[in-house]
Amino acid sequence: MSNARAIVAGHGDFAAGVVSAVVQITGRDDVFVALSNRGLSAQDVERVMREAAAAGPVSVIFTDLPAGSCTMAARRLQREHPGLQLVTGVNLAALLDFVFTDAPDAGVAAAEAVDKGRKALAVAAGGALGGGSARGA
């Protein structure tokens, strides 16, 4: 049985890479299970994700794309487990926030991680760093 609280799933080595970065920064290797959809059918992705979720107290699934195969598999799992939270478009800042959260439940922890991940996005133009869109600049 795993002690992981969340799954990170995505294309290629995305999940392994971002989870590796979390471990390097935090020293915590007990929070996430990394899953790749590489070489898997949609049914295989769902099966592997279901097995990972069943192996530990997983309450959140983080995926790389809003409409990718990992997200679709997570949505199917949510039908069976309505308390399961899904965060799409995850980034390193969101995962780091999740590691250190003291939020009372998975829904709050996921929402706080999304907020932190969104705030971490920025455009560096002309040497100035600023959040938000480069449109209209």
Strand partners, 60: 6, 85
Question: Could you list the pLDDT tens digit for every one of the 137 residues in the chain?
Answer: 578 899 999 999 999 999 999 999 999 999 999 999 999 999 999 999 999 999 889 999 999 999 999 999 999 999 999 899 999 999 999 999 999 999 889 999 999 999 999 999 999 887 666 665 554 44
pTM confidence score: 0.89
Q: Which superfamily does 6-131 belong to?
A: Phosphotransferase system, mannose-type IIA component (3.40.50.510)
Residue 118 Cα to chain centre, angstroms: 13
- Other C-beta atoms lying within 10 Å of the C-beta of residue 47: 13
What are the domain boundaries of the chain?
Answer: 6-131
